[in-house]
Structures are given as structure tokens and as C-alpha cells.
């Protein structure tokens, strides 16, 4: 099965042959018109769960982590950070240990996990700002507690989201950075001075900027403006069409620039599930609407995202006006640069039909292997053969 594709980052035109579970690629001299693209495998720094697999479930098992990694291939995601959110200390420790066990025992989990994202419990307890995080478990940073958790995680905690206004947070940031952990500001109502102090201490990311914050803010200054203005901070953003309107997407991209912006899904276990009311470890009782919007039941507050990186990349193209290369930098390259890790040996094959404003993930490739193949591949191969 042959296809002509554009390699996104180099601009090369490639002939791709998918035969069985093997993939072969070779450059070709001519530049053919095509809607098919090959890019580095996409990276998602914030995955609470997906398609029924929940990284915060009381009954989380090591196999769930590897199974979720395999399910994410169909969304274009080659590598990700399973995200553990605010809960009791014992629950967080158990989730971290389970994910670490999966990493140690499942080759696919090991190939896919870049580290664990600990989002909370060192965030703001303010209404609206804490979002779906249970306020009863939010508290100031505790270094001894974090060290116990990092031991349970076998050193896999690589990213921590916290609120700089919490007592002791600035010194805690310094200690995390010295230990090789990336620090993000999130679920915070920090002042201008507190945000600047956090960045000076080594914080380098704003987690889902524009979300995890009070619904009503003073005009200026406020935490969104301050984080947008600070060039030391990357911004992760949820381009699912619900967390940020298109106008805000464009403003963030203009302020931060493509190279300082990172697409994340913030997906929870209900992503790609049927609409309905559910009881979830992330947020308690939540409602998944047919539109794809996920709310804390009976409120206007979002309870995470029920979308995926595929939706984020598509919306970067469709709503935010990005080029394909710009969207892929935010989805595949910038997360790795933030974490300071090497790219996974994986590629995402996808189509972008600009006339239909539709993106389709066609295959996930790694080391000459076809990890995932969509039924849609045949249609594109027939239409655009070498």
C-alpha cells in the first residue's frame, strides 16, 4: 500500500509503503500535491485518562496504563505524561506506584511514558480556581511528602503543577527544579509579584493557561496577563473548542508565539465515551454533553476535557489559523524541549483536508513498525498512489 506524503518538519516528499505491520519510507524527487502528512509523533503532557482508562481511579491497574497508551495511538499520540491530580496522600501514592509498575513491566508503557505529571495538591483552593480538584485535599507544598511520592513513582514525576501563592511555594519550586523536575503554574490566582518570583525560581510553564482560574477577574493586572507577558514561561493550552474560544486561542499564540506554546488535551477517562451523567474520580458527578463538553454536573465549570490531541491539532488549524508545521511544533516538538528529553522514535501519519477542515489520524509508526492503522488508510492510498 503506497502513499505520497509530505514530511511536515523537513518539507520532503516521501513515498510511504505500509505492508502488513511494516512501514518503509523513501524520499522521492517530485513534489506531488497531497493532503497526507508525516510528522514526529505527537506528545501530550496532560492525560488524566482516556476511553475508559483512568489514571486517578481507585482500582487503577498497571495494565490500564499500557492499554491507554495503545488507545492513544489512534489519536496521533506517541508519548504522554499520565496525570495524577489532587486527592488524599494515600490515593496519590497508590496511583503513582501503579503507573511506575506499568513503566517497569510493560515495554509499550515504557516507550510511551515521558514521566508523570503531578497536578496538585499544591494549588489554590479558591472557588473556580481549583476547578475539579477536591478542595479538601488541597494544601501547601510539603517537601517530605513530595519525596515520598517521588519514591513511590520510582523517580518518574517529571512535571508538577502548583500555585505560587501557596505558603512555601517559591522555595519548593527551587527544590523541584534542582531535582530535575519541571514546574508549572496552574490553578492559581497568584499576584504579579508571585508569578515573577515563581519564574525566577525556575517555573517554566503555565498549565492550561486561561483555565483553572476564577470566572471573574479584575481587568489588570491578573494572572492571565502576567503569565502571557512572562517570556520565561511556556503556555500549555487546551484547544478543544470549549476551554478557550477561538479569539483567545489566537491571542495566546500571538503573545507567546508558536515556539512557546504547547498543545495538551487534559483528557479524562470519559474522552471518546458516550454522552451522559457519570461519577468520575476527576470531579465527582460530571456530565458529558453530545457536543463533547464535559462539566461538573449542574454547574458551568468544566471538568477536564473529553477530547484528544487530534482535536487540538485540528482546532489549531481550523480555529487558530495555524499552518500544519506550526500545529505540529506545538503538538510534537515544544513539549519535548520543555521537558528536555529526546523525541520518541515514532511518527504520526495523518491527513488534513483543508477544504473540509477535517483532520484524520491514519497511522502510528515506530522503528519501521505499524503500531496503529486506521481503516481510512485504504481510501487515501487508493486516491493518492505513487
pLDDT for position 249: 98
Residue 246 vs residue 32, higher pLDDT: 246
Residue 360 has pLDDT above 70, yes or no: yes
Summarize the confidence of residues 161-170 as an average pLDDT.
98
Candidate from 261-275, 276-290, 348-362, 364-378 with smallest mean pLDDT: 276-290
pLDDT digits (tens, 9 = 90+) for 55-82: 999 999 999 999 999 999 999 999 999 9
Task: Give CA angle at 54 (53, 56), nearest 5°.
Answer: 165
pLDDT for position 324: 97
Give me the CATH topology for the region 1-40+346-386. Answer: Urease, subunit C; domain 1 (2.30.40)
Q: Give backbone dihedrals phi and psi of 221, rounded to 5 degrees, phi first.
A: -75, 160
The x, y and z cell numbers of residue 362, run together, are 491514519
Summarize the confidence of residues 210-229 as an average pLDDT.
95
CATH of segment(s) 42-344? 3.20.20.140
Summarize the confidence of residues 303-311 as an average pLDDT.
93
pLDDT for position 35: 93
Q: Catalytic site residue 266? A: yes
- How far apart are the two ends of the chain, measured CA to CA in Å? 10
How confident is the prediction for the chain on average, in pLDDT? 95
In the three-class reduction of DSSP (H, G, I as helix; E, B as strand; rest coil), residue 187 is classed as: coil
Candidate from 174-188, 246-260, 274-288, 309-323 with smallest mean pLDDT: 274-288
DSSP 320: S
Q: How confident is the model at residue 386 (pLDDT cuts 50, 70, 90)?
A: very low
Q: How confident is the model at residue 6 (pLDDT cuts 50, 70, 90)?
A: very high
Residue 385 has pLDDT above 50, yes or no: no
% pLDDT > 70, the chain = 98
Catalytic hit among 127, 266, 311, 355 = 266
List the domain boundaries for the chain: 1-40+346-386, 42-344
Residue 296 vs residue 134, higher pLDDT: 134
CB-count burial class (<10 Å; 0-12, 13-18, 19+) for 232: middle
Residue 384 has pLDDT above 60, yes or no: no
The x, y and z cell numbers of residue 352, run together, are 488534513
Summarize the confidence of residues 231-250 as an average pLDDT.
97
pLDDT for position 211: 94
pLDDT digits (tens, 9 = 90+) for 25-49: 999 876 667 899 999 999 999 999 9
Residue 383 has pLDDT above 60, yes or no: no
Q: Give backbone dihedrals phi and psi of 15, rounded to 5 degrees, phi first.
A: -95, 125
Distance CA(179)–CA(162), nearest Å, equals: 16
CA distances from 315 to 5, 270, 301 (A): 21, 20, 21
Q: How confident is the model at residue 382 (pLDDT cuts 50, 70, 90)?
A: low
Summarize the confidence of residues 270-299 as an average pLDDT.
90
Residue 343 has pLDDT above 90, yes or no: no
Residue 109 has pLDDT above 70, yes or no: yes
Query: Most confidently modeled of 7-21, 120-134, 140-154?
Result: 140-154
pLDDT for position 123: 98
pLDDT for position 2: 85
Summarize the confidence of residues 96-110 as an average pLDDT.
97
pLDDT for position 280: 83
Summarize the confidence of residues 5-28 as an average pLDDT.
92
Specify the residue for cell string 486506521.
374
Amino acid at each position: 500500500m503506497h502513499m505520497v506524503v509530505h514530511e511536515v518538519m523537513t518539507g520532503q516528499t516521501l513515498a510511504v509503503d505500509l505492508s502488513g505491520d511494516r512501514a518503509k519510507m523513501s524520499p522521492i524527487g517530485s513534489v506531488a500535491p497531497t493532503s497526507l502528512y508525516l510528522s514526529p509523533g505527537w506528545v501530550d503532557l496532560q492525560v488524566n485518562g482516556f476511553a475508559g482508562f483512568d489514571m486517578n481511579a481507585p482500582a487503577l491497574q498497571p495494565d490500564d496504563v499500557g492499554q491507554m497508551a495503545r488507545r492513544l495511538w489512534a489519536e496521533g499520540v506517541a508519548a504522554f505524561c499520565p496525570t495524577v491530580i489532587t486527592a488524599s496522600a494515600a490515593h496519590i501514592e497508590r496511583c503513582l506506584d501503579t503507573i511506575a509498575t506499568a513503566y517497569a513491566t510493560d515495554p509499550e508503557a515504557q516507550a510511551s511514558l515521558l514521566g508523570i505529571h503531578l497536578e496538585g495538591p499544591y494549588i489554590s483552593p479558591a472557588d473556580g480556581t481549583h476547578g475539579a480538584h477536591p478542595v479538601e485535599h488541597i494544601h501547601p507544598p510539603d517537601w517530605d511528602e513530595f519525596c515520598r511520592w517521588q519514591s513511590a513513582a520510582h523517580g518518574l514525576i517529571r512535571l508538577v503543577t502548583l500555585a505560587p501563592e501557596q505558603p512555601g511555594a517559591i522555595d519548593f519550586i527551587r527544590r523541584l527544579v534542582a531535582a530535575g523536575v519541571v514546574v508549572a503554574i496552574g490553578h492559581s490566582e497568584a499576584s504579579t509579584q508571585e508569578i515573577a518570583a515563581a519564574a525566577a525560581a525556575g517555573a517554566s510553564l503555565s498549565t492550561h493557561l486561561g483555565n483553572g482560574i476564577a470566572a471573574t477577574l479584575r481587568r489588570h493586572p491578573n494572572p492571565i496577563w502576567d503569565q502571557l507577558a512572562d517570556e520565561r514561561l511556556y503556555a500549555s493550552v487546551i484547544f478543544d473548542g470549549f476551554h478557550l474560544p477561538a479569539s483567545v486561542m489566537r491571542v495566546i499564540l500571538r503573545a507567546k508565539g508558536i515556539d512557546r506554546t504547547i498543545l495538551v488535551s487534559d483528557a479524562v477517562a470519559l474522552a471518546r465515551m458516550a454522552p451522559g451523567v457519570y461519577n468520575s474520580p476527576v470531579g465527582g458527578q460530571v456530565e458529558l454533553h453530545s457536543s463533547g463538553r464535559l462539566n461538573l454536573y449542574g454547574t458551568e465549570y468544566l471538568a477536564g476535557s473529553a477530547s484528544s490531541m487530534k482535536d487540538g491539532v485540528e482546532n489549531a488549524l481550523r480555529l487558530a489559523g495555524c499552518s500544519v508545521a506550526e500545529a505540529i511544533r506545538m503538538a510534537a516538538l515544544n513539549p519535548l524541549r520543555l521537558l528536555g528529553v529526546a523525541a520518541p522514535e515514532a511518527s504520526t501519519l495523518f491527513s488534513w483536508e483543508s477544504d473540509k477542515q477535517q483532520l484524520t489520524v491514519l497511522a502510528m509508526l515506530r522503528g519501521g513498525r505499524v503500531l496503529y492503522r486506521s481503516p481510512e488508510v485504504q481510501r487515501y492510498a487508493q486516491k493518492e498512489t505513487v
